[in-house]
Every structure is written in C-alpha cells, then in structure tokens.
Amino acid sequence: MKTLGLIGGTSWHSTIEYYKLINELVGNKIGTQSNPPLIIHSINIELMREQNIEKINAKYLDVSRKLEQAGAQAIVICANTPHMTYEYVQPKINIPILHIADATGNEAKKQGLKTLGLLGNKPTMTGDFIPKILKTKHHIETIIPEEHCLGQAHNYVSKELTQGIFTDKAKQFFLNQINLLVKSGAEGIILGCTELPLLINQDETIVPLLATTDLHAQRAVEFILS
C-alpha cells in the first residue's frame, strides 16, 4: 500500500471522518487484518479563521513539504476550503495533492450531471478552487445560492457544523437552498462542507447529493491501493 499524508484540523471533526472512512474503505477491499499507512498533520483551525491568504498558503506548503519528507506519496487535504491553497502549493512539492474537485467531478460525470449547485461556507461557495477544476477539467458548471443567503450559510457552517452542532433549523435552511438551486438549474448538489453530509441525507431530497468527503476518501483509497 502507498503512504498517504493527511492535512487535517479544519475542522478536527472532519479529520476524524476522513480517517475513519479511509480505514473502513481500505478494510472493505483488502480485509480488516491490515490498515493503510497514514501520516496526519492537524492544523489549528484559527489559521483559516484569520483569513490571511499568504499565511495560510505558507503553512500548507510547510506542512506539505514535511509530509513529503516523512514519506507521504500523495497528500489529501481533509476539508473543502483549504483547497484554496492548491495552486500555490502543488507546483512547489514533488508529490500529488489529490484534489477534492476531481473526486467530485469524476462522480458527477458517472451520473451524467452537467450543472451542480454548491453548498458550503462562503469562501468555498464564492472561491474558484472547486468551480474552476470542475469547469476546466470536467466540463461541469457550478451555481451557488443567492448573495443574501451566503452569509447565513457561512454562519451555520462556521459557528455550528464545524463545532459539531447539528440543528433542525440548519437542516431546513440547507434543504431550502437545495430546492432553490434545483429551480435555478442544478441537476445535483455538492455538499462542499465535510460536516454537511452529517446534517442532510440523500432521502431528504430528490436530486443527487455529492458528498465531497465520501468521494474524496474513495479517491484516497484508490491511490493507496494503486
């Protein structure tokens, strides 16, 4: 098995989910008598909340280099938003970063989906680090909620979901956003926050939900076993 480096901590809840999923998926394929070699570096989430892009880029590059030096053969960033560092970090290291948007795009193409709604925190929804990869590499368009809803979505993610708080009020908000995105042309919905699949289930909506965490973990396992 290949050794994978995980960059976690944003949030630690999502890091646990990644670690659990990767081990379970590998176990399903090769049996539970062994488990994959993983190197984890957990970053303090305060770094992301400072929103200092230069500082964030520098930290993710430093951690990526340390994981490479420690023997990692590829890197998985265990959250959506920190993929904003991908274009800065990837050219400066010698191992691949397995991008969350590629995992999502591959699944969308399998399902024949060409327009996806994107839910997550504000940086994820308004940034180009997921839509750009989907459009240029997978020919998939991305739409997001209306401007006046972005702040509320961000607050639910940052102040509740990443703190392990899951309320009916948050669930109804995001289910309503899904319905609005579908009316705007979305054929499927990207759950672009690691905690969103813990809040919303597929049977609660009529369109396919693409849980980036699950898809990213599956891509990680494909690499480990390749």
- Mean pLDDT for 61-67 is 98
How many domains would you assign to the chain?
2
What's the pTM? 0.88
Show the domain range for 94. 4-99+215-225
* pLDDT given at position 32: 84
Question: 156 and 79 share a domain?
Answer: no
Q: In what order do the strands lie in the sheet with 38-42?
A: 38-42, 4-8, 74-77
Least confident of 8-17, 32-41, 108-117, 139-148: 8-17
Check which CATH number belongs to the domain holding 89 and give it: 3.40.50.1860
Asked if 162 and 45 count as a contact pair (C-beta separation under 8 A), the reply is yes
Which tokens hold the place of 136? 């240029």
pLDDT tens by residue, 138-156: 999 999 999 999 999 999 9
Question: 108 and 125 share a domain?
Answer: yes
